[in-house]
Amino acid sequence: MADAAGREFFTTRTVGEALAGFRPRRRTGPETVALRDALRRVPAGPVTAPNALPGFARSTVDGYAVRAADTYGVSEGLPGYLTVTGAVHMGAEPDVAVTPGAAVTMPTGGVIPPGADAVVMVEYTAGVMPGTIEVVRPVAPGEGVVRADEDAKPGDEIIAAGRPLRPQDLGMLAAAGVTSLPVCRKPVVAILSTGDEVVPPETAELRPGQVRDATASALAALVADAGGEPAYGGIVTDDPGALEKALRAALPASDMIVISAGSSVGVRDETANAVGRLGGPGIWCHGLAIKPGKPTLLAECEGVPVIGLPGNPRSALVVFRLIGMPLVRLVGGCTVPPPDPSMRATLARDLASATGRLDVVQVRVTGGVAEPVFGLSALLSVLTEADGYIVIPEEATGLDGGSEVTVILYG
């Protein structure tokens, strides 16, 4: 949108609009990884069981494989007697079948021998004479037995696409003999810092007016947490053209670009200009109804999401957590994001908020009470002192002290 003088205008969007509506088309392709490197990776497709699992009927208890019918009606007062005709050994095929009136010694996990349909727990038997046991409790068919396909039938979907693999998922894949699988490549997220005052963290002595780049290190960590691969793009000077050049250099190798912009209005405008000159469809919004974090820019350049973050480190990290991490997951094929740690707490004091704007308030939590940590957006210590944050939604005008709130905890 442009006015008669050719100046561009961009509407401010809400966080909800951005999460639902800003969907750049970039997606990473599949790559194959070994099972032991697959934790939290996102399966590129569903995985099905090649065979039945566990693959054979197994005993779930230590005891005796029997025909259930041979135990009907037995009790402590009127035990049944069965002849022990053999034993099953772990990891081996039974060399004996269970005939009427017979019992075969079973270890937990052993193969149910032919003819048997249940296993009596050893606790409900007693050896009365060599080769004979008495049984004091009846068993039903199937009791003490896990079926050959009870964990999975051949062709069952054992792992869904789009959900990061959890420890138990790796166990299931190992059980099925799947020792490598296609996952979505980790999105490469270029992190560019801007601002003439910004110097690398390695800088030992600062000149007056200089600050070390705090945001890039924290952003890289958030990218990794979202399943992405951070790529430090360095610090770009405020010189017009330098940012555009850096963006054009980063674009071909990046699945997403994050610009940690200087905090002054001039630098922010320069960021918008540089992003606007890249490939389309271009800028989606310039301004987000969130506090802190209003001066946020969202753009899609040649399919790649580009986020221009506010200059204050704290604002930048708040926005990247709410908007950037979901984008990293989207590009990386994740359709079922992992849950955030959260807890219910009692809000210690009233919090005011403006309608139409989402407020993110940092809190310390002690004994179930959430105490807001106040301070300027420029302060990083507000974030390091916080245990988590609460969100005051757009439609609210504030929250009352004493009310119950959900705190998203920093994990």
User: Interface residues for a second copy in 389-408 (CB under 8 A)?
Assistant: none
CA distance 73 to 136: 9
Question: Quick one: which of 18, 250, 317, 391 contacts a second copy (CB under 8 A)?
Answer: 317
DSSP 8-state symbol, 152: B
> What letter would DSSP give residue 150?
S
Q: What are the CA-CA distances from residue 334 to residues 24, 160, 161, 247, 305 (Å)?
A: 14, 11, 8, 26, 16
Task: Map the footprint of a second copy across residues 65-94, applying CB under 8 A.
Answer: 89-93
287 touches a second copy (CB under 8 A): no
Span near a second copy by CB under 8 A; candidates 12-20, 158-166, 350-358, 394-402:
158-166
Binding footprint of a second copy, residue count (CB under 8 A): 97
**Strand, coil or helix: 67:** coil
Q: How far is the CB of 120 from a second copy (least distance, A)?
A: 15
Strand ranges, E, within 99-227? 102-106, 118-121, 125-129, 132-135, 145-146, 157-159, 180-184, 188-194, 198-199, 211-212
Using CB under 8 A as the binding rule, the residues of this chain from 5 to 24 that contact a second copy are none
- Please choose, out of 127-135, 199-207, 239-247, 350-358, the segment that lies near a second copy by the rule CB under 8 A: 199-207
- List residues bridging with 43 in a β-sheet: 183
Q: Is 54 in the site for a second copy (CB under 8 A)?
A: yes
Task: Identify the H or E element spanning 318.
Answer: helix 313-319
d(CA 362, CA 389): 4
Which residue in 167, 252, 367, 395 binds a second copy (CB under 8 A)? 167
User: Which of the residues 222 through 281 are near a second copy (CB under 8 A)?
Assistant: 222, 224-225, 238, 262-267
CA distance 242 to 297: 18
Contact pattern for a second copy over residues 93 through 132, marking x by CB under 8 A: x-------------xxxxx----------x----------
Q: Taking the alpha carbons of 60, 63, 69, 71 in that order, is the dihedral positive or negative?
A: negative
- From candidates 18, 119, 189, 219, binder to a second copy by CB under 8 A: 219
By CB under 8 A, residue 347 contacts a second copy: no
List 371's β-bridge partners, or say none. 364
φ/ψ region of 282 (left if φ > 0, alpha if ψ in -120 to 50, else beta) reads left
Among 239, 340, 350, 400, binds a second copy (CB under 8 A): 340
Give min distance, CB of 33 to a second copy, in A.
Answer: 13
Report, in Å, the least distance between residue 158 CB and a second copy: 7
